[in-house]
Every structure is written in structure tokens, then in C-alpha cells.
Structure 1
Amino acid sequence: MAFPTVASAADGGLALDTSLMIDGMVSTSEDGDESGATGQLNLSLLLDGAPLGVPGLTGMAGVTVYSGEGISGPLGDLQGVSNIAATRMVRPINAWLQYGSGRVAIKAGVMDTNADFDEQNVGALFLGSSHGTGPELSSSGLNGSGAVPNTALGVTGFLTDEASGLKLRVGLFTGRPGDPDHPRRLSWKFGDGTGTFSIAEVDWTGKSHRIAFGAWRHSAQLPRIDGTGDHRGSTGGFAIVESTLAGKPADPEGGEAQGARLDGWVRLGIADKATAPVTRYVGGGLVTTGFWDKHPEDSLGVAVAHAVANGAAGPDVGSETALELTYQHALGHGLSVQPDVQWLLHPGADRTRANAVVFGLRLIATH
């Protein structure tokens, strides 16, 4: 889930951004029906050092309030039908400073790794969690990869060549963000077998396209999926291609819409079969915006997320495929409404389970 950027900081150097999202969902299948709601309130204080006499310094301090897991618990899906669902808690999400200008920058503190690595910009419209961080990465290690809600403590370096559009990002983080046995507990544990999490990504961004390749590694001893002991470390990689297929590309500075546009993306991911709950992933989709002159900010999208679970976990373990259709309508004054439908083939990657349909409605308020 993307958070506000520091570029929105006010002339005085500090700005407060807030957002509230509420998801109501109902699922139906031969195995039973479920219903529920979840919400997420974000409060972010943004720092821009230039007005304060420190050009090149930016920062963020953010807190998120989660209202609960919604229907994902009783539904038992593998990938997560709502990307704002989490254990009911109040969690500091960001507390970092970044310094640099132009070619080189460094960022340190507590951060959402998905803000810098494995970003699916076109896919950010969708409610399904796999269109944020890929499931083979988000389920890896001792407690994930440092994406929300269990953000990581660490450092990230950036190297940018603006002329060619090439960017290199490298990060080193604590190996266990949060505590899987106590989800509400705030924890960034060093040592005691937790290891480290390292990740690198190369990104080439042009006027109408973006291509990114990344690789990651957890260094800790991790339990093997087949239950035969531990395995030293876990590795994986991913690739993302995003492109404007029709119309004018989006304004990177966030300017006014430039008419109708069709964007598409594809993401591939792989992970270590010895320890990874999800070993392979392919996802992507299409998003169109600006198709309605009266409401140029509206977006309509269709996406697919196919996650292959580790077959070593049992004979009935296969894959879960989620097909999603969503429409975000801007009501004005920072308010949006987003009806959504998802079709899940074999929820939980269980071959014996019936398919399910999930109907959702998201309300979004930003300031």
C-alpha cells in the first residue's frame, strides 16, 4: 500500500497527510458465506528540509490504525482479498530520514519496504494484496519482507541516472519485522537467529514504460516446508513490466489528466522451494482512466493474481487464482467509492475447496 510522498510537504517544511479507507466485503461459495468489514486510518507527518535550510533532507513519521482482518480469516484465502486488512492495532509504520540529491541518496529508519521495492504502480488500484507486494515475497522469511503492517528497520541506498532513467536501490533490514506470535507487539529483533533481509532492484523508467528486476535474501535459519528440519536462508527474485498501452502517459509530477489512457502491467516472482510458502507467482492486468469526461479521475481495472503454493506442504496443496474487476469513482473533496468483485479459484490453494466470489465496496477519504 502506497503512502503519501514527501514531495507533498508544505512550504514550511512540514505537512500532515491523512487517509481513511474502509472495506466492506461479502463472499459466497459452496463451502459457506462470509461477511465483514475492515478499515485503515493513516496519519503521516512529512518533512521537506529545503525550506528549513537543509536541501536534500526529507523524512516521514507515520502511524496507522487497523480495525481488523475482515473476512480473510474465515475465508481462508492465500493472497488476501483486502490489502488494508490486519490485526486490530495501532502501529508506527514509518519513521525515517533520507538525505541526498540528484544521483545518490541514503534512507534510514523504520520504513515500508514496498514503498521502494517491488512497487506495482498500475496495480495499486486493486484491493487484492498481491498487487502490492508479490505473495512469494510478502510470505517469505520469519515474518515477511518488511511491508505494511510489519514494516522494517534498516537502511536503503539509491543511485539514479536521470538521463537514462536507470535507478538502483539496495536495502538491508532486520530479519524479523514484528513478532508473528504476538502480532500487536512492536518488534525489530536483532540477533538470536533472526538474521537479516537484503534486497536489490534495478529499475529502468522511460516516458511510457517501466521495467524492474529485483532479488532478495533472508539469511536466518528457516524451517523447511516439508518439516524435515531447517534450511540456511531463503532467496527469490521478481520482474515487473509496466507500460502505457494507449493514450498519453501519466504525468509523473501529478498534473491534470491528459485524456483517456490505458495502462497495463505484468509481474513474475519466484522463491526458494525449501522454505517458501509460495514458490511461484504471476500477476498483472489493465487499468483505464480518463474515459469519462465528466469524471476524468475515475479508473476501471481488471487483474489476475496466480500464486502457486509449495507442494511440499501436502498432497492437496496447489494454487490460488484471483480474478478482480474494480471501479474507482471520485466523488470530489477527497472522497472516492470503489465497488469491487473478486473470483477466487481454490481459496487457500486447496484443491479440495470450492471456488468463491467476493463482493466488496471500498470507501476512501484523503486530506
Structure 2
Amino acid sequence: MLFLSLNARIWKYRDWSLAVPAAAILAVAATSPALAQSVAPATATPPTAGTAQANNPAPAQSDSLWTRDKLLGDLGGVRSALAAKGVSFNVLETSEVLGNPSGGIRQGAIYEGATLMSLSVDTQKLLSFPDGTFYASAYQIHGRGLTANNLDNLNVVSSIEAPPSTRLFELRYDQSFFDGKASIRVGQLAADQEFLISQYGAFFVNSGFGWPTLAALDLPEGGPAYPLATPGIRLKVQPTDQLTLLAAVFNGNPEDNGSGTSFRVNKGVFAITEAQYAINGGDHPIGLPGTYKAGVWYNSNASADQRQVYEGLPLSDPAASDASLYHSGNWSAYAVADQMVYRVPGTKDQGLGLFFRFMGAPSDRNLVDFDLYTGANYKGIIPGRPDDVAGAGLIYTRVSNQTTQLDMEPGLYSGGGYPNGRSETVLELTYQIQMAPWWTLQPDFQYVFNPGGSLPNPNDPAQPIADATVFGLRTTIQF
């Protein structure tokens, strides 16, 4: 049952084609003269466009390839001219090669990438309408995923693994009130842009460190998170400098509509609320900064019982196959903590930070009823490289008791019941190299224990999927 449930949730990753050769990721790296050297700080500031400057040009400033914020720089003044009107645009390419030399259902390597294109408009500058921001973003997703093709595990090994497509992501308007102490966001939204975020955890490659695996597997279509945004409205209130309150309501099922432009609002309700408390913030904190969050979410759509018993007959019995039992709604509670525990003297953010996040959900209606994330980051661990980040993270994901009990039903798998391992654990070690302000390289290692919670290997159902070793290299480029 777990095998069937998992594959029903990741059907969309199947049968991808290899869109770009792996060598494309390394092509830019080969041109860098500074792989082992520290990146020079960006001392040049882009000129401010305007009539005064056009008539009185500022002194020439450095626009070195290795110090500019974006690979293409100011595009001959286009960016700064638009910025003066309140308009900014960005293109971010994330590409990676991942491979598993051992474990999984098969061994091999894949390439995948995601190009994020975004446009932001300050309505005060462009339209003289105060405190408003219009934002739109779209993805071009290419390649094929290692989890779907090689591993069949629960915690998708890459945060960009998704069906190949070109699709609208977010399309929203933000309006601030009370000097920025409150704001409303409305439009097509993604919950993973503001909720459930760990500052230190988001840097890792495995998708579970971003949008949690429990939510991705238990919510319809994975919930309103990459790559599926959905219509919604969000309220944010900051009564004090330390306390922030968030609440949002979304369409309950963001089911894939190809281009992301269907804007469905008739698929139930997904509601989430979160309280955030920050300590020692600001530019000149006395103590070590930290952020603590707690929240709950609720989805109104019916959820199938993971045991699915009808008149005492397990689902494996033909007499029970059309009598699924459903529960009304679904919910979860969670907590997140990010805390710096050591800061390099004389710096703002260099040093050691720890993170912790857990989430629980009812066992009777969910494939996963508990997951936990923890780890540590160290920024500037190598002398002379203040912007590099090293990290070690751990994910523990538990399969629900009801799913496990059904998996053990005699006859459900060939050879009798399958004693499920009930959990999957992932260890990740990674290092992000800041090659330039616009470019990072990130070697990555992951080890997956009990993929799928000891799922049977579809190539040999008498054996569980073997523990998998994953190596990878990710690059991000801001154009």
C-alpha cells in the first residue's frame, strides 16, 4: 500500500528526458580564475538613473565580472533606468547533476534545472500609489529527477525536482499598512515562500529542508508549494519588532493545470497560520540572533483512511476494493527554530547556526504522520572565504501506523505481508562556494536510509529498496 500511495503522489515525475548534458553545469566553472581564491567584495555600486546623472555622469566605477551582483550587470543602464521607475526583473538559473552509484531501484545520473523569471513593480514609483507591490514569476523546468527515476524515496533529493514545464508560478499584489506593520497579499500564491521556512535549512539541496515532506505527501498535489501556486490571500501583522503573525487561506487543491493559469478556487480550502518570534535582530544586535516559529494548517478536502477497512476486510480483498473509507479534513502542527550559537568576532552573520523543525499529523488519514529536520551551518568556515557556507543536515520521516499495518496484510505483496521499516532517514553534507556575487557552486552528498520506509524493490519485491548513496553538484546563476 505504501508503494502504491507513494507512486500515486509522484506520478508526475515519471518519464522525463535528459534535456541538457551534464557538462553544461561545469562549463562556466572551467573559466573561473578564482576557484580557490576568496571572492572580492562588491565595491562598485550601480549608478542611479535619472536626468541629473545623464547630464552629469558619475565618475567611472568598476563593473568587474567578479564583483557585479548579476552576470549581465546593468545591461547598459537598462536595469537602473527601470529601477528608477520602480520596476525590477530577475532571472535565476539553478542547474545540477545528481547520481546514485549505489542503492535505489537502479543506479545512474541525471541532469535537471529550473529557470526562475520574476518581475516586481513598486506602485509608488510607477503609479504614485503608495505602499503597493505587484509581483509575477514563472518557471521553466527541465531535465529529469533522481528520486522519481532511480530512488523511489520519500524525501525528494532535490528541491527543484518537478515535471518539465514552462508555467506561471506566483501572480500577486501586496499592500502595506501602518508604516509596514501590516500587509495583505492576494493573487496566485505559494505557501512555501513565507510559511514553514527554516533560515538555515533552506540552503540544503534535499527538498525536505524546504517545503516539508509530510506536507508534500499528505496534502492534495503536495499543497501550494513549488511548482504549484494557487489562488489565495495572506494577512501579515507585526505588532512588535520581535513578533510577526501570519495567516493565509488558499484553494485547497492546486492540482496541476499545465501552464499554471487556471486559477481554480473550487477545490476546498487550505488554511495556515504561523507565529514568529525573533531575538537579537537588527543591524547591531547585542546577543546572537534567532527565530522561533509555531503554526498549524488545515485542509478541508476528504482524506482516505490509510487502513481502508470495510466490514473487516482489508483493501487487498476484492470485496473491499470499492469501499474506501474517508475522513473529513486533515490538519498538522509544526514548530521551527533557527539559532546562531557562535559568531565570528567583528562580523554580522559569519559563524555557526543550528536549526530544528518538526511536524506531526493524524496517523489514520496520512501516509506520513511525523517528520523531523535538524542540522548546522557554518558561514565562513574557511579563512579568506567569508561567504561560503558548509552544512550538515538530517531528516527523519515516519510512515504512519495505519499504512504500516496495511503493508503487513498477508497477500498484499507477493510472498505474503511485508514488514515495513516505518521510516526513512536522510543525511546530507553540503558546501556552497560563492564564486561571485551572482554565482554559486554547491557540491553535495546525501545518504538515504530505508528509501520509502523500506519499500519493496519493484524489481525484486522480496527485497526492500537498498540504501542509496547520492553525489551531486548544483550551480546557481543570477543573470
TM-score normalised over the length of structure 1: 0.90
Q: SS state of the match for residue 139, structure 1?
A: helix
5 Å-filtered alignment, 1:294-333, equals 294-313=384-403, 314-315=407-408, 316=420, 318-333=422-437
Flag the 1:161–1:270 CA change in 2: closer, same or farther, 3 A: same
Contact 1:175 1:189 in 2 (8 A): no
CA distance in 2, matches of 1:300, 1:143: 33
Q: Secondary structure at the match of 2:452?
A: helix
CA 292–40 in structure 1, closer or farther in 2 if over 3 Å, else same: same
Query: Which runs of structure 2 are paired with 1:190-201 in the superposition (5 Å)?
Result: 190-191=265-266, 194-201=267-274
Task: Give 1:333 deviation, angstroms.
Answer: 4.9
Aligned partner (choices 70, 75, 85) of residue 12 of structure 1: 85
Higher mean C-alpha deviation, range 30-39 or range 144-153: 30-39
Q: Which residue of 1 aligns with 2:119?
A: 45
Q: Are 1:210 and 2:291 matched, yes or no?
A: yes
2:443 to 339, 342, 350: 339
Per the alignment, residue 288 of structure 1 pairs with 378
Q: Is 1:168 aligned to residue 280 of structure 2?
A: no
Task: Give the SS at the match of 1:349.
Answer: helix
Gaps of 5+ in 1: 1-7, 250-255
Amino acid of the residue matched to residue 147 of structure 1? A
* Paired residue secondary structure (1:176): coil
Matches within 5 A, 1:1-367: 10-30=83-103, 32-52=106-126, 53-74=128-149, 75-101=151-177, 102-163=180-241, 165-179=242-256, 186-191=261-266, 194-207=267-280, 208-227=289-308, 228-247=324-343, 258=348, 260-313=350-403, 314-315=407-408, 316=420, 318-350=422-454, 352-367=464-479
Q: Is the Cα contact below 8 Å between 2:231 and 2:265 reproduced in 1?
A: no
Task: Tell me if the contact between 1:320 and 1:349 (Cα under 8 Å) persists in the aligned partners.
Answer: yes
- SS of 1:65's equivalent? strand
Structure 1, residues 305-339: CA drift from partner, whole Å, max 9, x if none? Answer: 11112232323251110000000111115111100
Q: Is 1:177–1:187's contact at 8 Å kept on the other side of the alignment?
A: no
- Give the Cα–Cα distance (whole angstroms) in 2 for the partners of residues 108 and 166 of structure 1: 22
Distance apart, 1:345 and its partner CA? 0.2
Maintained 8 Å contact 1:87/1:183: no
Deviation at 1:128, TM superposition (A): 0.5
1:264–1:286 contact (8 Å) kept in structure 2:
yes
Supply the AA of the counterpart residue of 1:326: T
Structure 2 distance, partners of 1:242, 1:262, is: 11
Structure 1 residue 70: deviation in Å?
1.9
Structure 2 CA distance for aligned equivalents of residues 188 and 139 of structure 1: 22
Q: Quickly say closer, same or farther: Cα 1:36–1:285, change in 2 above 3 A.
A: same
Query: Following the alignment from structure 2 to structure 1, what is the Cα–Cα distance between the partners of residues 331 and 250?
Result: 15
The structural deviation recorded for 1:187 is 4.2
2:147 and 2:225 map into 1 onto residues whose CA distance is 18
Give per-residue Cα distances to partners, 1:85-122, cap 9 Å, x unaligned. Answer: 10000111110001013222110001121111111111
| Post-superposition CA distance 1:41-82 (Å, at most 9, x none) | 000001222323222111210011111442111211111000
Measure the CA separation in 2 of the matches of 1:151 and 1:317: 33
Moved more, 106-115 or 219-228: 219-228
Q: CA deviation at 1:186?
A: 5.0
Instruction: Say which SS state the counterpart of residue 220 (structure 1) adopts.
Output: coil
Write the deviation string for residues 244-287 of structure 1: whole angstroms up to 9, x where unpaired: 110069xxxxxx96473111100010012222221101111100
With over 3 angstroms needed to count, the CA separation of the structure-2 counterparts of 1:259 and 1:127, relative to structure 1, is closer
Is contact 1:176-1:188 (8 Å) kept? no
| Larger strand percent | 1
Shift of 1:184: 6.4
Q: Higher helix fraction: Structure 1 or Structure 2?
A: 2
The question of whether the paired residues in 2 share the 8 Å contact of 1:113 and 1:152 is answered with no
CA deviation digits over 1:131-167, x for unaligned, max 9?
A: 101111222232122011011210000111233x111
Displacement of 1:209 after TM fit?
A: 0.8
Distance 1:257 1:173 in 2: 40
8 Å CA contact 2:96, 2:472 repeated in 1 = yes
CA contact (8 A) 1:299 1:329 kept: yes
- Give the deviation of 1:185 after TM superposition: 6.6
> Which secondary structure does the structure 2 equivalent of 1:130 belong to?
helix
- The answer as to whether partners of 1:285 and 1:302 remain within 8 angstroms in 2 is yes
Whether the aligned pair in 1 keeps the contact of 2:421 and 2:450 (CA below 8 Å) is no
| Cα deviation 1:20-52 (Å, max 9, x = unaligned) | 011101113355412111100000001222323
Given the superposition, is the C-alpha separation of residues 73 and 225 from structure 1 closer, same or farther in structure 2, using an over 3 Å criterion? Answer: same
Q: How many angstroms does 1:206 deviate by?
A: 1.5
What's the TM-score, normalizing by structure 2? 0.69
Distance (Å, rounded) in 1 between the aligned partners of 2:196 and 2:260: 26
Find the structure with the greater CA-based Rg: 2
One-letter amino acid matched to 1:143:
E
